[in-house]
A and B are shown apart, each in its own frame.
Chain A
Amino acid sequence: EPEVTQTPSHQVTQMGQEVILRCVPISNHLYFYWYRQILGQKVEFLVSFYNNEISEKSEIFDDQFSVERPDGSNFTLKIRSTKLEDSAMYFCASSEYTPPGALFGSGTQLSVL
């Protein structure tokens, strides 16, 4: 069964450093998303990416965040200068034309020290 793949599974970084979280969505999917979950809290939408551009972003997704789909298969989330409060589980998801729901990757646990 096809699945969304995320790497790395864990990332530890120093405050102020740049990190890139990587995702390989399901190959025939058209819509790509990043969500995050701070420990013990609910999952929050960050950004939606469709047709090679951002279609929607939340207030969390400020200028420190960016997304790219550089080669038609990978989908990346970059945080330019990490803050302590960026520590969270980051989920990539992708979906096709119709429900059921978006399929999520297994997540990247980001720890900012």
Chain B
Amino acid sequence: AQKITQTQPGMFVQEKEAVTLDCTYDTSDQSYGLFWYKQPSSGEMIFLIYQGSYDEQNATEGRYSLNFQKARKSANLVISASQLGDSAMYFCAMRESLRGGGGSNYKLTFGKGTLLTVNP
């Protein structure tokens, strides 16, 4: 069974500074994918970034980057130049393929999340 561990229940960062949110995972699959989602206080789930297990380069999306260390089974999210609007819950998730869909049908296993607070 897949498992996602986020060991930081809460993190604080000063505005304009960078912050790293930790995520470790456990899987026996050779092919997998890792995601980060942001959940602001309004409740919606916002997709941030994706890393495939065979991707050689770390994923980046604007101010978000994913520090993928396969041997360590970690997929940490780095947010550069934090903004007040970054204050939210952040979830790491792993993809597990389901039958049908040729690998495009999958379910996500989520970690417990990290609550990030950006201070002015």
Chain A contacts to B: CB under 8 angstroms: 30-31, 33, 35, 41-45, 48, 50-51, 55-56, 89, 91, 93, 95-107, 109
Contacts and interface: CB of A to CB of B under 8 A. Distances in A.
Given A101-B33, A101-B95, A106-B44, 8 more contacts: A42-B91, A51-B100, A89-B43, A100-B35, A101-B37, A102-B47, A103-B47, A107-B45
Given A48-B107, A50-B101, A55-B105, A99 B113 contact: no
4 smallest beta-carbon distances between A and B, as pairs: A104-B45, A100-B50, A106-B44, A45-B107
Nearest to B61: A100
B35 A101 contact: yes
B11 interface: no
Contacts of A31: 101, 104-106
Contacts of A106: 42-44
A99 B99 contact: no
B45 A43 contact: yes
